[in-house]
Structure formats: C-alpha cells, structure tokens
Chains A and B, each alone.
Chain A
C-alpha cells in the first residue's frame, strides 16, 4: 500500500509519542529515552504539554541523534499515536515514508491512515485487558507494553531497559517484576506478530561518554545550593516551579545538619511574586544569599522591587524560566521573550545584569556565579533560562565544582574595619568601580548603620533631593554597570573555516540548533562566524564582532528580536547591519528553521559564496 520507500536510519530519527496527560505515559516515555542513552546513543527529548493536569493532549518527542544534535529537529519519523483526540493531526505530521504505531484493538477505517507511511498496529488494550483487571494498572502497564513493542521494532536491547526498570524500582520487588513482565508482553507480541526490526533502528554506540541527563531547572537549583543560597522565596508558576521544588529536594539531601537535623536554609512559598521578591530583598539586605524563581508574569509583578534593588543596591538573584508571553500567553510553551523586560525592568533609568546559560551544565555554573555577582555588584542578577532548557532532560557535560572556591561576598564593611576608623559611606565610591561598601544590620553598636531607602540620597545615605546629588549617584550606578561587563561570563566566539563578512549572534537554548545549523549552512556554501552571548551587559568583544562583520544575524526566540534591540541600543550601531532571525511559535527553534532563514537571506543578498568567487 505504501507508495514511498519506508524511512531507513540507524541512530538518527525522531519518535513522537502522542498521549493524554495524566495517563502515566511520561515515565514510560522517559524510560524510552533513557534506554537509548544506555545504548551509547545521544537523545534529545522534549515534553510538549498543555497547561492542564488531566485529559488534554500531550506529546513527548525523542530525537535519536548519534551525531549529538540536541536541538529540536522538526518532523516526525515515527508517531506513537496513543491519543484519539489528536489522531488526524498526528498522522498528518509524519514524514513521508515514516511509521505510525497505534493501538489496533479497535479497527480503524482505512481513511484514517496514509498511503505513504508504514502502519504498525499492536492491540495494546486487548493485551492489557486480558492480563490486568485493575483499571489503574491497565492504564500504567499499557505504557510499558508499548515500550516493549517499540524495543522490538527499533531493535533495542531489552536488557538495558530491564536494567533501568531495576534502578527505578530498586527495593520494590513486586513493581519491578510486574514492569519487566509488561515490557516482555509487548516485546514478545511484536516479535511474534510483526516484522522486526523496522527501518529505524538503535545500534549500540559510544557517543554519550560521561555526559549526564538532567533538566535545567534541577541543575539551576543545584547551582543555588552550591552557590550558597540560604533563603528561597517563590510563588508557583509554570515553567519555573520545578526550580524551587528541586532546590527543596537538593537541600533536603545536602543541607541538614547531620547532628541536629536542622536546616541550613529557609524556603518560603510566598503569597505572590511580590512577597517572594520582597523576602529575597529583605534576606539579601540582611546578608543572606537569596533567590526566587519565576516566569514572565512574575517578572511583571516584581518590577517595583527590582527597581529598589537597583537603586538601593541590594543583591538579588531571580531565575526567570521564560515562557511564551505576553500576558498569560502560552504558559507551557518556550520563548526567549523577556530580554527587554528584564534588562530594563522597573520605572526610571535602570539596567540589570542578565545571564544566558545554554544548557543545564551552564545553568548550574551561572546559578552559582549569580550569587557572587549579586553580592559583588549589589544588584539584581537575572538567570535567564527558558522552558526548553528548564523542563526538558538535556544531555550535557557533567557538573563541575572547584573545592578551593570561596564565595565572593562583595564589599562588606565589618565591625573591625569600622573600628579601624574606615570612612563608611553606604553610597561612597571608594575604589572607582562604582561599587560602594555595605554593612549588615547589627554589625556595630555605634558605627556603620544607615537607612536604606528607595528615595534619592547622598553618598552617606542621607535623604536628598538635590539635583547634583541625585545625578552623582545615577552616574555611579552607570560606572558600576560598566564594571559588571568584565565580571559576567564573556561571549564565546567560533569562527568559520574561512574568513567571512557574515556573522551570527545567538544565546541560551538556541545553541544546539544553531550549532547544527552551521553545518547545514556550510553545506549550502555559507560561511558564518558565531558569537554566543552569555551575559548582559555586553562585553566589548560584542562590539568588536559587530565591527568585524558586514552583516550579523541575530537568532532568537521572540517576535520582536529583543536581543537585537538591546545590542542596537547599547552599542549604538546601524540596525540595518543586524538581521533578525526570529522564531516564536512556542516550539523550540530548529536547525532546519535557522538554516533556511539565514540561507534564504544570504541567497537574497546575492552573496557569491567565497569558494565560488575564489575558484
């Protein structure tokens, strides 16, 4: 019936599971991804889920990628269609020559299929119902049964899946054996009734190495533990809630006094985002490392306090796990859409430090570094994650920590320093870097106290509405921001093989797709130098990169090319030279998308690839 040759590929394909949320499919699907990793083959999984708890469609996509392309690829080679609600769309989304895996217990009319795909029916419900009587068991084991069937179809080693089940249900013998049993029910049925394997296959490899598989939110939360955060205040909001939840879990493991059992941390679920940031500001003012995690709507609510943090110079760390805005937007879809909102958050003239990690490993490092930066610079530091990094398991290098590292607590004047007669002016720039000294409350009986306020004041923290006093302070804050440039993570540049007049700037979760796109563009004859921005304020190397290239593409996941706006604004360069490449439908950006957009633009410029010009 097929008029297209079935797809054939080893260790390079995309499987998408279409499920109903609340059906318990997530753990089976995740086990599928982990099982492939255990074959030594990199995977890049993504949850595509609704803002809902039960009954709405949810998808889990696994990109199997021996070459290690961890960005979303686009397209589906095999659809595991378990959700009748989305059947038509799911079937339509399969690549020509692809495969459709479905529950064939009830016959489907032929019009519900396609001629150009391979249809694989497994009577999952029939198998489940004949084996189990408990409705919940039927539901859960159905997922494991399809996992078993897939293992046969994709030529996976069942021993590796059994091993995973063993690890997951360690000490729960009954659950362990019943899961293994269900796995083999599915696997045996497929081996006896279907042609196994199909054209898509998993073959053992050694491309995973020592990499780990972790969600960005968990890694960022662990970074906060390593970075010495002791106070966390938060308000639940997708997709950031799992940061605070992971911080709680990590603290339970690492932060209890072994003798007394007491907690070396305090976590408060605030009544809203205003209270959360208020608690953070109060704790930081009083010398504790403190953070909150939120998403766009939370940032909007926090902006008054963020201005206070900037102006009264109080450290704060805000992890912003970005989702599609504006307003409630698409709470469970990814974007990089709060760049401007965070860079210039709050009324009046403000500027804030932003950090852009590309994956969980950097989220861990930058989260820990954010506390040093916040205390050094005495201001808010934004850790800009997004849903794509935060809520998906990502394969990344192992987390690393240098045990010789001490925390940089910034400029804090102690009782001893005050007794030595050091001049303490809370807003006095003694070192020329714009950063004044602060004292913690309760430091000294007669020296070093001051009144913190959001109103204008002089260098000694005395209230003042004098224009010159106000301007002096605002200029110092600018100096401090310039100091920040050299303290934040620098951009990373990777040049094309041959000199080129074209460059591309990107950041955060766009990274893996961009890296892959470079290969695709090279294949089309386009050479591009790359600059991955890792922080704002921009290091001077950003200006140099712009000066060295005629055109620079700025690739980002929002409608208004916000990073490009920020670059234009902060560097005062001709906007024409910065070409926006934007992707903002809420799905993660793909290499195919980037390569096409940049490639088309390059073609449009009638660029003669250098190779041809030379030959």
Chain B
C-alpha cells in the first residue's frame, strides 16, 4: 500500500510539453505492485503517451475494475479523478461516466481476470456500443492478487508456477474485440515501450472504442518456464506487424521513412498515425483480414502485436444516441424540466 509520499520537487530543467506540463504532472502515487511488474511499465507508457499528447491531466477520467491492473490508475495522472470500481464492471461504469460528460477522455484499465472472466460480458458490450474510450487490458494470464490462479487468457498447456497445466482454451481478447466491432484494436507487450507508447497515444486520439491488449508478465506468478505469458516467451514469440508514430498538430514526417513501408492513417480529430509496416502485406483497415491474420499466426504460436485494425471514421455511442454537444452533467432544470404548463397539458390528455 502507498505509505511513501512521492517528493513533489523536480529538476527545474525538466522538459515541458506544449501545455507547459512536465512528465511529473502526469505521474501518480508510488506503485505498490511487485518490483519489475509489467503493469508498471504500462503505467510508464500511459504517462509518456499523455505527456506527448499534451493532454490536460485533469481532463482524463481513469476507471478500473478490481485486481493488480485495476490498482494502477492510482499510479498515473495524479490530478485526474480515478474510479477503482467493482470486479469486472469497469466497462459499465466507464460507459455511464462517458454518457454524463462527453468532453473528458476516458481511460479504462482492466486485467485479464477482470475483462476475460468476471467482466467478459461488460467488455463485449462496451465494445459493441462503441463507447469513446481507450480500453487497456494488462494481460498476464494469471490472478496475481489472489496468488497465481489461471485466468481465462492463459493458454492451453501453459504451466502455473505450482506446476499445474491449464487444460481450458484461452480467450483472445483481441480476436473478440475485432469480432465485436471495436474500431481501434491493438496488441502490445509491456516490455516494448517503443511500440506501446504510440499505440496508447493513437488509441486516445481515436474516437470510438479503442482496445489494446497488453501482454504484461506477472513476475511473481507467471514468469517461469512453461508459462506463455513470461517475458522470455513473449519476446521469443512476438510478431510485430507494424511500428507507429502519432503526429498531432505537426506536419507528417512520412518522408523519414522509405516509401512503401509507411502508411499514413488520419484519425477523426485530424491527428495522424504513421505506420511503419514490418509485414508488407498487412492492411490495418481490413477487419476480416486482421481476423484471419491473427488466427493464422496464433496457430503457429505467434503473438501478433501492433495496430491490427483501425477505422478512422468511426462513430461513437453519443453519435448513435444523438446526444447534445453540451455535457449532460451540466444541464440544469431550465433545459431539462418541461415545466408546469406542459404538465397541465399532459394531465388534460389523461382525462
């Protein structure tokens, strides 16, 4: 638990972003997770992405469920409101929060127990609805906080620390998210900040349901030989389809890259994603192709990472519901209440 206060002073020469915020302004409390935990690397990537995007820290709402991953919102964006809700229920709480105020940025942080088991339904339905959010699953294949039980993303044949072999089939959240219509789907690895930071940044800029599955080895219970979510295993089986850069308010720097290997994706808000393609055949606008690609590589035991699918013209839940531009939480009686004259008319129609 967080007993140590983080010192507030910092080096006066610390770099500032466009809004004048330093890295420190995006940090939170000191992590209480195990030293070396993959989740802490993801936290660092979230901080980095928000800093680079020059987001006002307090305009982000961080929402999580229950578990090791769900504790992490306390460790970044200390000036943002956070909500450590109920196990598996981050998606519904986030959906409600998003409906109340469409002007904030919604960051949902969840784990594999949270999203693939107890909250599998909520994960699916929030994606289906196209809630404008960045949904990050910190996926370690194991229940860390209750000491090492398999989760639903643990691969069949994977061995637990106690030597038990998992005989259940694994759920691939990325495949499910693609099938359910997520408009931004990516996978990454907590140990690969170069790939992860721009992915998070692009997901935040994406309008619609963005989903990122981040393989994040549990150093306490799932980093041994026989585990398919260990650092070594993921490094060996990682097959990246692309590397990307997010360009906001800057000229595209596509010229930096050799033609034919870079694909520019312009998002709804005008920001651009420069995809340096490693697999030349990979088309991130083809949902069906992404599903096939994923399945083919999974059969070979490869973990595909990178931006797997994006629909730059996605719509979100607010568009589906045709809600007003003004956040609903700012509306008062003068605009919400029809008043007594309307009520008298209503009464008259009931006689």
Q: Name A residues whose Cβ lies closer than 8 Å to a Cβ of B.
A: 37, 208, 210-214, 222, 225-228, 230-231, 233, 254-255, 257, 260-268, 270-272, 274-288, 290, 304-305, 308, 398-403, 405-407, 439-446, 449-455, 462-463, 465
Contact = CB atoms under 8 A, between A and B. Distances in A.
A233 B121 CA distance: 16
A264 B340 CA distance: 19
A35 B332 CA distance: 40
A225 B338 contact: yes
Contact of B339 (A287, A288, A401, A443): A401
Interface string B79-91: 1111111100101
B285 interface: no
B322 A283 contact: no
A263 B328 CA distance: 10
Interface string B116-133: 000001101100010000
A288 B93 contact: no
Chain B residues touching A, majority SS: helix
A451 B74 contact: yes
Interface stretch (B97-105, B142-150, B294-302): B97-105
Interface in B49-103: 56-59, 61, 63, 73-74, 78-86, 89, 91-101, 103
A286 B351 contact: no
B53 to A, nearest CB: 16
Nearest to B66: A454
A305 B58 contact: no
A274 B90 CA distance: 11
B122 A441 contact: no
Contact of B350 (A213, A279, A444, A455): A213
A69 to B, nearest CB: 20
A465 B80 CA distance: 23
A441 B80 contact: yes
Interface residues of B, number: 64
Given A208-B351, A263-B324, 15 more contacts: A212-B347, A226-B343, A261-B322, A265-B328, A266-B317, A275-B89, A279-B95, A398-B344, A399-B347, A403-B339, A442-B101, A445-B58, A452-B83, A452-B85, A463-B74
Given A257-B324, A282-B93, A463-B1, A266 B99 contact: yes
Contacts of A225: 336-338
Contacts of B1: 463, 465
Contacts of A275: 89, 91-92, 95, 121-122, 125
Contacts of A406: 332-333
Contact of A282 (B63, B80, B125): B63
A441 B97 contact: yes
Interface in B288-343: 317-318, 321-325, 328-333, 335-340, 342-343
B347 to A, nearest CB: 4
A168 to B, nearest CB: 12
B346 interface: yes
Given A228-B331, A445-B79, A262 B325 contact: yes
Contacts of A285: 83, 93, 96-97, 100
B96 A282 contact: yes
B169 interface: no
10 contacts: A222-B346, A262-B322, A263-B324, A264-B324, A264-B336, A278-B91, A282-B95, A282-B98, A283-B97, A286-B101
A308 B86 contact: yes
B2 A403 contact: no
User: Which of A213, A230, A287, A308 gathers the greatest number of chain B CB atoms within 10 Å?
Assistant: A230
B321 A266 contact: yes
Contacts of A268: 95, 99, 129, 317, 321
